[in-house]
A and B are shown apart, each in its own frame.
Chain A
Amino acid sequence: MSTDLLRWIPLIPLLGSVINLFFGRAMGKQRAGALASAAVGASFALACYLFWQLPATGIFRDLVYTWIQSGSFQVNLAFQVDALTAVMLLVVTGIGFLIHLYSLGYMGHDADMVRFFIYLNLFIFFMLVLIMGDNLLLLFVGWEGVGLCSYLLIGFWYHDDNNTIAGNKAFIVNRIGDLGFIIGIFVLVAELGRQGIWTLDFGELQKHVKMLSPGTITLITFLLFIGATGKSAQLPLFVWLPDAMAGPTPVSALIHAATMVTAGVYMTARLHFLFALAPATLAVIAVIGAATAFFAATIALTQNDIKKVLAYSTVSQLGYMFLAVGMGAFGAAIFHVFTHAFFKACLFLGSGSVIHALGGEQDMRKMGGLKTHMPKTYWTYVVATLAIAGVPFTAGFFSKDLILWQTFSHGAGILWGVGLLTAGMTAFYMFRQLFMVFHGECRADDHAKAHLHESPAVMTWPLMILAVGAIFTGWLGAPEYLWGSRWDHWLAPIFGPAAEHHGTVSTELLVTALTLAVVAAGIYLAYLMYGKPGAQTAQQTANGIFYDISLNKYYVDEIYDFVFVRPFTALATFFASIVDPWVIDGAVNGMAATVRGFSTVWRGLQTGNVQHYAAMFLVGALALLAYYLGQLS
């Protein structure tokens, strides 16, 4: 096969975006949406074909052209597909395609649907550049591009100020992380350059990183990880992701659950050879991952907004992934990325279906009893909830257990304990949500009740496909005591052979059993507090200091506001009101005044009379001629 095909995977969505940009309005909403979906579908088909063709150890490269050439430093616009990229490719294009289809139904009533699909296609393009780029700079281009699309889509309904503020927040918080990221790139280039190696190619980097000193590597990886905390919503930069739920729900599913936020994990996996050399950074990552997982889970316990719960759940699951990264188990992290994409997308789309049915209502306290009205949504939701809770033989069970087992077997007992606790909380808040939304009495107002309906097929079919994925994708990475992992085998060429197990099978089974017990406890607690008939009303009034803290998200936003935003605003106000008008404007105006002063004197020469000018012209000509005459004689 021709490797030239590679470039078309990102290019087709870009084309779709550009065509819709110029002709979308003329084509009409439905056709524009169909075009956008078809573009992503085509990419998906190509990706499947590539996946099929990709040999076990192989790698496809497609050099489009040389982007930067400066001395021996060369950056290509080139795409590559190896096993890792292929997995991400399938997730991004496959789930992206499903979500496009879903959006056809979900956004069908929105006047700005064409714009939505332009953004969505553009996002797919940048995400594909991110995962397919064969060098760090191209990855960074995609990284920034998806950030931009995320910003655009969070503020998609820009008529509401809160949405644009949420968009700004996402953008600004991400910039903080990106600053670390780009400094990391600079340090990497500069340090390698000092060794005479000028490159950003992953392949080249992998060959040459050993030349760097351990301290440098720690610094670089730490800076890169700061970028990852921004993009993947880890402590302390996670605050933007819950707010990002202001965007349309398909966006939350695609960008803020399945794909973009996992870019940080992908980045660390892509640069695993670098991170593997920095144990200090890995330790930091593991601690931050575990802390984030736990912290976000505690917040999710009490949230009432259906999407907020899912958002904190996403943060929490991302924490798991970084916990795995911190253990050096990159394969496990990517595995969790993979399974999480399915069940979290399914959950988000399910919640979208609910919100759609209720005419935009997101407060779970005003839901309930939807089971009978929306059976398809309900059952897919149940499946995905089981998966995220980690019920055996669902996707989440395999991937989460793998992470916990890796943590345990690495001897990080405390982190394992935190993860275990988080698993229990996850089960609790997810079932709490399930009970609040689908069981019990319907608490929606009459108007919303009257319009209750199951979503159209174009929305339910993606849900069902994702639900199937939420169960079976996990089977690829089954532990050794079952049928063994195809996953490790697949990723082995990238990350090396699967990490050796320190424990025995019996220990592993014991750990799993412990996890299952905690999960079961969480589910049962949720049933007691929310699932039992009459329990919910009792919980409405329950509160306490921990409940308040959790409900208010530990006041993190307020603390950030007080510590960072306000001093910064004050400084900006100072510059805007003192420095700009007096110092800068003063200098500029002073120059202008000086020039004007001189001009007032000189403008007397400009009489506006053509004949005066002609006379001046003649005087000049005379002077020249006289000089010439003097030269001659």
Chain B
Amino acid sequence: MIALHYYLILSAVVFAIGVVGVLIRRNLIVILMSIELMLNAVNLTFIAFSRYLGSTDGQVAVFFVMAVAAAEAVIGLAIIISVYRHRQSLDPQEMQLLKW
């Protein structure tokens, strides 16, 4: 049988990959998708712990993460749409007026 470590390491790796996406991509949609990837990596740890500790609480937590992720994606995409209407661009590095 697989030990819990393996699931955790897998999810850490996926999480780190998601972080790379957030940091280096220059497309807001892909950044948002990378965030979804990170959330799912966390979900994986929840489920793994739930299984290995024998508690459904982890699964319930995933349920809530999904609800929050859905809300986050919806709002994020709505913001992206309105930003795109104004700037004709999805590059976050072109949107840096909000300083000083």
Contact = CB atoms under 8 A, between A and B. Distances in A.
Enumerate the 4 nearest inter-chain pairs by beta-carbon distance, A residue then B residue, closest first.
Answer: A608-B96, A608-B99, A606-B99, A609-B96
B98 A608 contact: yes
Interface of B: 19, 22-24, 31, 92-93, 95-100
A609 B92 contact: yes
A570 interface: no
Contact of A606 (B23, B92, B100): B100
Contact of B100 (A603, A610, A611, A615): A603
Contacts of B23: 611, 614-615, 618
Interface in A575-606: 603, 606
Contacts of A618: 19, 23
Contacts of A609: 92-93, 96
A603 B92 contact: no
A607 B96 CA distance: 7
Nearest to B24: A611
21 contacts: A603-B99, A603-B100, A606-B99, A606-B100, A607-B96, A607-B99, A608-B95, A608-B96, A608-B97, A609-B92, A610-B92, A610-B95, A611-B22, A611-B23, A611-B24, A611-B31, A611-B92, A611-B93, A614-B22, A615-B23, A618-B19
Interface string A539-554: 0000000000000000
A360 to B, nearest CB: 62
Contacts of B24: 611
A503 to B, nearest CB: 90
B38 to A, nearest CB: 11
Interface residues of A, number: 10
A606 B98 CA distance: 9
A611 B22 CA distance: 7
Contacts of B97: 608
Contacts of A608: 95-99
B14 to A, nearest CB: 16
Contacts of B95: 608, 610
Contacts of B22: 611, 614
Nearest to B19: A618
Contacts of B19: 618
B97 to A, nearest CB: 6
B94 to A, nearest CB: 9
A600 to B, nearest CB: 9
Nearest to A600: B100
Contacts of A610: 92, 95
Given A606-B99, A608-B96, A614-B23, 7 more contacts: A606-B100, A608-B95, A609-B93, A610-B92, A611-B22, A611-B24, A611-B92
A609 B98 CA distance: 9
Interface string A610-632: 11001100100000000000000
Contacts of B92: 609-611
B17 to A, nearest CB: 13
Interface string A515-543: 00000000000000000000000000000
A540 B95 CA distance: 86
Nearest to B26: A611
A614 B98 CA distance: 15
A74 B83 CA distance: 63
A615 B24 CA distance: 10
A605 to B, nearest CB: 10
A610 to B, nearest CB: 5
A618 B21 CA distance: 13
A615 B100 CA distance: 19
A615 B95 CA distance: 16
B20 to A, nearest CB: 10
B67 to A, nearest CB: 24
Nearest to A608: B96
Contacts of B98: 608
Nearest to B25: A611
A624 to B, nearest CB: 15
A603 B100 CA distance: 6
A552 B80 CA distance: 80
Contacts of B99: 603, 606-608
Nearest to B96: A608
B42 to A, nearest CB: 14
Nearest to A609: B96
A618 B100 CA distance: 22
B99 to A, nearest CB: 4
A6 B44 CA distance: 74
Contacts of B31: 611
B56 to A, nearest CB: 28
